[in-house]
Structure 1
Amino acid sequence: MSALVRLPYRRNPKDQDVLAQKPAKTGPRVYEEIRRMAMEYRFKPNERINELELAARMQVSRSPIREALQRLVTEGLITFQLNRGFFCRGFDVEEILNLTDVRILLEERAVLLAAEHATDLELRTLADWWQKTSAMADALSSADLTAKDEEFHMRIANLSRNPELAKMIEGINTRIHFVRHIEVEKHRRLSTTYTEHNNIAEAMLKRDGRTAATLMGDHIRISATDAVDTVKEGLARIFMRDD
């Protein structure tokens, strides 16, 4: 009986092209994608997240999915229920108002510290950057405007010279990202946001931290009525989109 001859495997060049076009997703990339989905409520509020379906959708194993979800639980973007699994966080008025209260405390402190510790050049750079941003606002998308608004606040947080404070502010900003995007798209506060940011930056330039903090608190504060309207608008967008 002749021996079975095993021919060497030759990869199809087309297979190589496909593999080159679709690099394997790393754990950090999986985390970033799921984080963005959670920030934008691509999962519906209080919806159970099916890890197997998500893994199949993202073409990865279950392990990086679970690791990402566990990390997002600590960030407040996902919730976990014992023996039930991972869920999208809720979207309600109470959460918006509570997060806003915490944000006011953190950002008022940040602007006080920034006015005290930042250099003149850093404060002037902040003011000039926002003026340039305001000038080109009409050409920016609502997503870009939301990003610029978040950047303004994070620049101040970083100028506080307190990395722990900046980290906390970034966490709050992540959790209210969807709300801020709605505010920008609806143009509810768009006409005043530019002026309010400019006034905060100018007060900091004068080293008037207390005035800057007061302006910051007034800028961030949201009424219960506005919160109710935002929740109604947000829920409509979440449940009506087809993606």
Structure 2
Amino acid sequence: MNATRIAPIALYQEVAERLRQRIFSHELPPGTWVDEQALAEHYGISRTPLREALKVLASEGLVTLKPRRGCYVTEISERDLDEVFSVMSMLEGECARLSAARATEDDLARLRAIHANLEKAAGKPDIDRFFEANQAFHLALQEIADNRWLLHVIEDLRKVIKLSRHHSLFSEGRLEQSLAEHRDILQALLDRDGARAETLMRTHILSGRAALARIAEAKTQAA
């Protein structure tokens, strides 16, 4: 009995994760109408677990359910990005502040090692590896801060940011700027200067937003 009750839950969660990755990779770009019948046939499932999966994605802001019109991949506006990055800067700033106080010597050694990967990736330059190391650095700070509610909200907001059609590191000079910002943040953490770490992290997040805005403006001018 337990197996039959658990299986449907596992199924819709798996479907949600597969669709989530297709959205993040822009295989399903923002604004795309979600063809439920085609997806159900593609995955070899009924429409019931598919609809449950779409409800999960809707709760995360990744898709929008429109009455009588169906389901669409959420389109994120410039205003959305402004608002999300503003909140992210506060949350990640708080993570940096807490981490400066709570980090153990092992934690700091882990941050140094991640930063070394950032330096190597920037030296090539390798944007994909830099992005991975950047994500690892931010995740490490969130874990060191040890506030599960902060982590939960940040994860949800990062999912929304991934809906953006652009990546800030492709803005000219942003990779080098980001690396310099990371150096300063790491030093503040090593110095146990929570206030400075918070300020630097907030600036770092907002700089990423500014880079996205430059990319969007350049695309508009080129159109």
TM-score normalised per structure 2? 0.81
Does the CA-based 8 Å contact 1:110-1:160 persist in structure 2? yes
Is 1:55 equivalent to 2:35 in the alignment?
no
Does the CA-based 8 Å contact 1:124-1:205 persist in structure 2? no
Does the CA-based 8 Å contact 2:84-2:157 persist in structure 1? yes
Match for residue 113 of structure 2 among 128, 141, 146: 128
Match for residue 205 of structure 1 among 176, 184, 190: 190
Equivalent in the alignment of 1:77: 62
Equivalent in the alignment of 1:112: 97
> Residue 225 and residue 132 in structure 1: after superposition, are their counterparts in 2 closer, same or farther (change >3 A)?
closer
Tell me the amino acid that sits aligned with residue 202 of structure 1.
Answer: Q
Equivalent in the alignment of 1:33: 18
Is 1:164 equivalent to 2:149 in the alignment?
yes
How far has the Cα of 1:36 moved from its partner? 1.2
Does the CA-based 8 Å contact 2:62-2:160 persist in structure 1? yes
**Secondary structure of 1:86's partner?**
strand
Does the CA-based 8 Å contact 2:103-2:144 persist in structure 1? yes
| More moved, 177-186 vs 58-67 | 177-186
Tell me the amino acid that sits aligned with residue 40 of structure 1.
Answer: S
> Residue 144 and residue 178 in structure 1: after superposition, are their counterparts in 2 closer, same or farther (change >3 A)?
farther
| More moved, 80-89 vs 103-112 | 80-89
Cα RMSD (Å) of the superposition?
2.7
Give the number of aligned pairs: 211
Q: Which has the larger radius of gyration?
A: 1
| More moved, 174-183 vs 32-41 | 174-183
How far has the Cα of 1:52 moved from its partner? 0.8
Is 1:142 equivalent to 2:142 in the alignment?
no
Q: What stretches of structure 2 of length at least 5 have no aligned partner? A: 1-9
How far has the Cα of 1:72 moved from its partner? 0.8
How far has the Cα of 1:210 moved from its partner? 0.6
| More moved, 86-95 vs 61-70 | 61-70
Equivalent in the alignment of 1:20: none
Equivalents in 1 of 2:128, 2:214: separation in Å? 20
How far has the Cα of 1:224 moved from its partner? 7.8
Structure with the larger helix share = 2
> Residue 55 and residue 229 in structure 1: after superposition, are their counterparts in 2 closer, same or farther (change >3 A)?
farther
Q: What stretches of structure 1 of length at least 5 have no aligned partner? A: 1-24, 236-243
Does the CA-based 8 Å contact 1:108-1:214 persist in structure 2? yes
Does the CA-based 8 Å contact 1:143-1:181 persist in structure 2? no
Equivalents in 1 of 2:54, 2:110: separation in Å? 38
